[in-house]
Amino acid sequence: MKRLFLAVVALVAVTISASAVAIVPQPLSISKHNNTFVLLPSTMLVCDVEEFAPIVKYSQEYLALDHFAKVAPKSNYISLALDKSLAEEEYHLSVSRDAVQIVAGGYGGAFYAMQTLFQLLPSEVYTKQMRLPAVVKGCDVKDKPKFAYRGFMLDVARTFMTKENVLRYIDYIAYHKINKLHWHLTDGQGWRIEIKSHPRLAKVGGFRGGDSPINAALGKWNEKYGGYYTQEEIREVVAYAKVRNIEIIPEIDLPGHSTALARIYPEVLCKNADGTPRKSGAVVCATKESNYILLEEILSEVCALFPSKHFHIGGDEVNMSQWKSCPDCSAWLKKSGYTDGYKLEDMFIGRIQAILAKYGKTPSVWNEAAFGGGLSKEAWVHGWKSPEICKQVMAKGYSTIFMPQQFFYFDMRQSKHENGAIWGGCFDVRKVYSFDFAKEGFTPEEVAQVKGFEAAAWSEVFLSQGGDKSIDFIEYQTFPRLCALAELGWGKNGGGEWQEFHNRLYKNHYDRMADMGLNFRITPPNVKYNNGALTIEKIDNSAIYYRMEGSDKRSPYRGAIRTSKPGKYLFWAEYRGAKSPEVAHSSHYKTLKPKVTLTSSLKAQPKYGYHRVANYDMNMRVAETYKAGDWFLFEFEEPVECRSIEFITGSHAVLSRLITKGYLEVSHDGKSFHRVADLENGRAKLLNPKPIKAARIVATDDDVPGATIRLCSPIIYPKW
Ligand code: ACM
Ligand code: ZN
C-alpha cells in the first residue's frame, strides 16, 4: 500500500512541470528546476526564531501540518530561519526533494516567503483544506520588494463593512504581499470608529437614513442602516493585520468630508456671514479654538488604538467657500495677508500635526494638503489627482504614495457598460498593469524617491449594489486589479509584459482567487462578426456562454453563430463561479438620440441645465428639492420607435440623487397620457413600446429637505 502511495506521489510530482511555477506578484529572481518537494502529513515545520511564532501558527492553519520542531530533521521538513544580512521583507526560498528551506531578513520576509510557498502548492491551500500529499513545485527564489509601501485603501465610511469582512479583506491583500491598509474610517456619510469620550460620534454618526441626522444619500433611503467598530474590534483588526505583516494607517478625514462629524457637533462648523450658527456643512471651522480641543480628544483615542507611526488626517477637497464666508476664518486670512484658502488649510493641518506629535505620530495627507508649506517633511503624501500631482509633491520633498485615480481608484468601472463610478476613468486590470513611470515622465532618480503604490476602494458605488451584493461588488472591483497593483509595488519583475502577466493570472491565479473565495472579475472575450457569422475570440481558459437579449436562458458557446442580427447575442466568460461582464457586438450598444425638448416644474442648476439631457450629454442637476407632484416632461419632435427606452432619474453611475417614489406616463399623440410604469431605483424602462411622442416622470413623494436630484438623458435602443 505504502509503495503504491509513493508511486502515485512520484507520478504527481513529475507531471507538474517546472514551467507551471507562476507567482503573483512576480519574485525578483526565480530559477525553476525539477526537484519537487512532497508535503506529507508527517512533514515537520521547523523554526527556532521566536519572532516568527505567529507565522508558524498562521502557516499551520493553511498547510494542515501538526508537527513542529526547533531543529531540522534529516529530511521531510519546511524550515524558517532568520538572516539579518537580508532586508526586512527579503527572503530566499529553496525547494529540494528533502525540504523547503526559507531564510528571511525579518518578519515581513518570512511571511512573504510563506505566501510564495502557498503559490507553489495546489491552489486548494487557500481553502485550509488541502489534501495531502501535495507537491511543492521545484524552484529557488531570491526575492524582495522594490517599494516599501504597497497599500490598499478601504472606505468603510460610505459603505460599512463588518469586522468579519474587513478581516477577510486583510487575508486577501496579505496573499498579494500588500503591507499597508489605509483605513478610511470617517467621511461625510459616516463615522465608523467608537470614541469613548464622544460616544455619539459612532452610535449616531455610524448610521444614516430613518431618524439619523445623517441623510441616506447613496442608494438606500427608507431604512436606517450602517454600523461602526468598537475599540475592542479595532484592536482585534490591528492584531489580525499585524500577524499578516500589514500596518494599518487610520484616516480621520479633516477638515473637509466632515458632514457626519458636523451633524453630531454642528458647533464645529464655521459661522454664517452674519455671525449666526451654521446648521449644515462639510468643513470644520479652522479658527475656532474649541475645535482643536475636541479634535485632540478624538484623535488621541485613535492614536492609542493604532501602533502605526502614521496617521492619515485627510486634507482633500476642502470647500474653501465655507471658510471664506465665515467671519472668523476670513478675518484670519485677511489679518495674515492671504487670500488663498489653502493657507488656512495649511494652518489647520499644522495645528493637527502638532496634536499628533504629542502622541508620537506623523501625519499622512491627501495631495491638496502638501502645497501650503507648513506640512512636516516627515509626512507621507497620497497623490490621488494625477501622476503629475505626484511629481509635484515629490518635488516638494515628500514621501509620495502613488494612487492616481486614472489607474488606482477601483471604484471606477472596468468597461463602459458595467456598474461603477466613471468620473476618474474607466479601466480594467490591463490599464493598472500598464502604469509605467517612464511613460508618465518620471526619471529613474525620481522613481527611486517613490514610497510606493496604493489602490483605493472608495465605496459610494458599492452601497448602491445593495445588501450582500455590495461585498461581492467590492471584490469584483478590486480583483484582479489589485493583483496588478501588487505586481507594480513588488517591482514588476516579470518585465511588464501584459501577456506574460495575463498568462500567470488566468493559468494559475484564477484558481487561487477561486479558492480564496473571491468574487473576481474575468476579462471578457472579444466578439467578432464577419460574413454573417458571430464568433468569440477567447483570451483565457474560461468557458463562454451566451444568452439572447431579453432572455435569461444560458447556452454554452460552441462555435460560430450565423445571424443577421449579431447585437441580439450577449456573451460572457465564466471560471469556477467567477464571471466576466456581458459583452456583445457593437450594434448591441447603438442608441438613438431623437430630437427632444425637456421641461420641468423644477429649476436646473445653471451649469448643468436641461439642455444637457436634451443633447444626450447624460447628466443634469436640479437646483431645488423635489416634492410630490413635481415632474419632468420629454417631448419628442417625432414619435420614437424603439425596442427599449429607459428614463433615469439620479446619477448615471450610482443609484443616488434620484426620485425615490414616482411613475412614468407616456403619450402616443402628444396629448393624452397614460401611466405605464412605477419608478424602480428612480428608473423606468419600457420594452417594445408603441411609438412615443412624449413621456413624463412624476414624483409621488417629497425628498429630504435640502436634497437635490439629477436627471439623465433617456437611453433609447433602436428596433432590430
Ligand atoms: C479623494 O479622492 N478625495 C482623496
Ligand atoms: Zn470658520
CATH topology of domain 526-589: Immunoglobulin-like (2.60.40)
Amino acid 220: pLDDT: 65
Q: What are phi and psi of 454, to 5 degrees?
A: -145, 140
pLDDT in tens, 399-449: 999 999 999 999 999 999 998 988 899 999 999 999 999 999 999 999 998
Q: May I ask the CATH architecture of the domain 596-717?
A: Sandwich (2.60)
**The Cα angle at residue 333 between residues 332 and 338, in degrees rounded to 5:** 150
Amino acid 9: pLDDT: 47
pLDDT in tens, 528-583: 999 999 999 999 999 999 999 999 999 999 999 999 999 999 999 999 999 999 99
In this model, does residue 1 exceed pLDDT 60? no
Amino acid 10: pLDDT: 45
Ligand number nearest CA of 289 is 2
Q: Is 398 in the pocket of ligand 1 (CB under 6 A)?
A: no
In this model, does residue 463 exceed pLDDT 80? no
409 in helix, strand or coil?
strand
Closest atom of ligand 1 to CA, residue 317: 3
In this model, does residue 656 exceed pLDDT 90? no
Amino acid 4: pLDDT: 47
Q: What percent of the chain has pLDDT over 90?
A: 87
Q: Taking the model in full, what pTM does it have? A: 0.94
Amino acid 467: pLDDT: 65
Give the integer Cα–Cα distance in Å for 313 and 251. 6
Closest atom of ligand 1 to CA, residue 458: 2
Which is more confident, 654 or 611?
611
Mean pLDDT of 469-496: 92
Per the DSSP assignment, residues forming a β-bridge with 462 are none
CATH topology of domain 2-143: Chitobiase; domain 2 (3.30.379)
In this model, does residue 210 exceed pLDDT 90? no
CATH class name, domain 149-515: alpha beta
Amino acid 495: pLDDT: 76
In the chain, where are the structural domains located? Answer: 2-143, 149-515, 526-589, 596-717
Ligand number nearest CA of 285 is 2
Amino acid 3: pLDDT: 47
DSSP annotation of 370 = G
Q: Is 366 in the pocket of ligand 1 (CB under 6 A)?
A: yes
Give the integer Cα–Cα distance in Å for 267 and 326. 13
Amino acid 103: pLDDT: 98
Rg (CA), the chain: 28
Half-sphere exposure at residue 213, Cβ-oriented, CA atoms within 13 angstroms: 19
Highest mean pLDDT, choosing among 15-19, 491-495, 629-633: 629-633
Mean pLDDT of 83-103: 98
Nearest to 543 by CA among 527, 560, 524, 515: 524
CA of 414 from ligand 1 middle (Å) equals 19
Amino acid 221: pLDDT: 64
Question: Ligand 1 pocket check: which of 257, 316, 380 to mutate, most ligand atoms within 8 Å of Cβ?
Answer: 316
